[in-house]
Amino acid sequence: METVSENACFGGTQGVYTHKSKACDCDMTFGLFLPEEAKWGAVPVLWYLSGLTCTHENAMTKAGAQQWAAEQGIALVFPDTSPRGEGVANDDAFDLGQGAGFYVNATQDPWAPHFRMWDYVTEELPVLIASNFAIDSARQAITGHSMGGHGALTIAMNIPDRFASVSAFSPIVNPTQSSWGRKQFGAYLGSDESQWSKHDATLLMNEKGFDGPILCDTGTSDQFLDLLMPESFAKACATRRQQSILRMQPGYDHSYFFVSSFMEEHIAFHAEALYAG
């Protein structure tokens, strides 16, 4: 692992690091904010998964999350959204290929050799960070935006004992029934739709639910609202009687202006769960 940069930030440190990823078979970059409390001991961690076209940098510079994480004494991890570099498959469309990993392990060519974002985010990167920084792996939460909201919800429900809480901004919650999902799942996972279900938050809510609190915010003026399908996830939560706060925020769109507007509330929501007991 190599340090790209480290900057003082709200009493803590915002770092950017690169490393050779075994899961993705290429160099990967991530951001990590450590609050001041990490100087004296391990701190809880909130994972932030970004959306389509983003890198580790978008949320790190636009979400305004460090201020609120510093107040709560919580670390923030900002992984990249896909493998990158020479020899990594790509596509001219913004919603497939580099910048659009969808947090799955691809099984189809030409994506399979590198696009293993599920293993990267759930296995490799957590071990790397816990081995090198003052992170309390027993206290973790996860959030994300758009494609990253999809990733946060599906990872949380598939690994229920790891995360105290999960939240999402404008998440893609029913991708098996949306053109913003069927295209990518078909490309990455193949035509057998039974392999898609573990990556659909609505199907997972119907099947498993989540043993903890959920918070989701979506804007009523989101230009991608028909592709996000928040009503599907809301129905599944109601049917399961899942502990959840699902909000439609009037006038907000899909941008980081929306994300930053509600970031304080999301971090406070996670802090309550991370420090419970």
Q: Of the residues 21, 50, 82, 146, which is catalytic?
A: 146
Burial (CB < 10 A; 0-12, 13-18, 19+), residue 86, is exposed
For residues 17-32, give the mean pLDDT.
98
Indicate if the pLDDT at residue 14 is higher than 80. yes
Domain of 124, in residue numbers: 2-276
Residue type, 18: T
**pLDDT tens digit string along 253-270?**
999 999 999 999 999 999
SS3 content of the chain, % helix, strand, coil (to 5): 40, 25, 35
Residue type, 196: W
Give the model confidence (pLDDT) of 161-187 as tens digits: 999 999 999 999 999 999 889 999 999
Q: What Cα–Cα distance (Å) separates residue 91 from each residue in 98, 99, 187?
A: 7, 10, 11
CA dist., res. 119 & res. 199, Å (int): 13
Structure tokens at 178: 């949306």
Q: Does the predicted model carry a pTM greater than 0.75?
A: yes
Number of domains in the chain: 1
Please give the order of strands across the beta sheet that includes 214-219: 2-9, 12-21, 26-34, 75-79, 43-49, 135-144, 163-169, 214-219, 244-249
Asked whether the beta carbons of 25 and 36 are under 8 A apart, the reply is no
Average of pLDDT values for 40-50?
A: 98
Is residue 119 part of the annotated active site? The answer reads no
State the pLDDT at residue 277.
63
Rg of the chain taking only CA atoms, in angstroms = 17
pLDDT at residue 204 tops 90? yes
- Two tokens, residue 156: 């949380």
**Among this protein's residues, is 95 annotated catalytic?**
no
Would residue 197 show up in a list of annotated catalytic residues for this protein? Answer: no
**Domain of residue 162, CATH code:** 3.40.50.1820
Note the pLDDT of residue 160. 85
Statement: residue 189 has pLDDT above 90: yes
Catalytic residue among 199, 222, 232, 270: 222
- On the question of pLDDT at 272 being above 90, the answer is yes
> Active-site residue among 150, 199, 254, 266?
254
pLDDT (tens digit, 9 = 90+) per residue, 89-148?
999 999 999 999 999 999 999 999 999 999 999 999 999 999 999 999 999 999 999 999
The DSSP call for residue 223 is T
Q: Give the whole-angstrom CA distance, residue 24 versus residue 90.
A: 14
pLDDT at 179: 85
Q: What is the pLDDT of residue 238?
A: 97
Mean residue pLDDT of the chain comes to 97
